[in-house]
Amino acid sequence: MNDRFDDTAESHVATPKEILDKVLLYPNIDRDGLRLSLWSGFYTGPVFAQIEQRFGLYRDENNVLFALATYGQLTAKSICEFLGRPKNSISRAIDRLLKKGLIHTEVDPGDRRRVLLTIEPAGRDLHEQTLKIHKEREAHMLRSLTPVERTALDSILSKLIDDADSWIETF
């Protein structure tokens, strides 16, 4: 049986790091974009898998709770724009959070056409629990950096985010 996902027959199984090192030698590669994307994937994949397993909370649900816990009342449209996620994904997440009683809606008194989302105490508690998972993963992935390098990384990422209005695209 020739299973393309079975590496047992090979004499050497390439590690993800070996594959990355070789891919980065490709002349037309977007090195920074690729590395940022891969690093982000290695951060978010395990984090959201653990949150889903422990709390039954999907990625977009977690991100909606994060937005509401850190900013306060928001519209669904604002959350989509902030997270850079498609409207249908955020809409489904909001519906699930409403059913779980983790958020609630209210009509905006200043504009009765708008609906504001607010986190409930149970949602805030759950958000605090998930933050621990995020922080542990971040600390693990950044452990090879010195304090000076971490400060430099923070400065670079802040500078990129400060320029977000020039490159952000929403769904």
Instruction: Indicate if the pLDDT at residue 171 is higher than 70.
Output: no
The pLDDT, as a whole number, for residue 20 is 81
Per-chain mean pLDDT for the chain? 91
CA 168 to chain centre: 16
Q: How far apart are the first and last CA of the chain?
A: 43
- pLDDT tens-place string over residues 100-155: 999 999 999 999 999 999 999 999 999 999 999 999 999 999 999 999 999 999 99
Task: Report d(CA 95, CA 41) in Å as an integer.
Answer: 26
The pLDDT, as a whole number, for residue 2 is 54
Task: Report d(CA 38, CA 68) in Å as an integer.
Answer: 27
- pLDDT tens-place string over residues 47-66: 999 999 999 999 999 999 99
For each of the domains in the chain, give its residue range(s) and CATH number, in order of start.
29-135 (1.10.10.10)
pLDDT > 70 in the chain, percent:
93
> Which 8-state DSSP code applies to residue 10?
S
Closest CA to 55 of 107, 120, 129: 129
Task: Report d(CA 30, CA 46) in Å as an integer.
Answer: 24
Beta bridge partners of 119: 103
Q: What is the dihedral of CA 170, 62, 51, 123, to 10 degrees?
A: 180
Task: Report d(CA 54, CA 35) in Å as an integer.
Answer: 29
The pLDDT, as a whole number, for residue 10 is 58
Task: Report d(CA 17, CA 25) in Å as an integer.
Answer: 13
Instruction: Indicate if the pLDDT at residue 170 is higher than 70.
Output: no
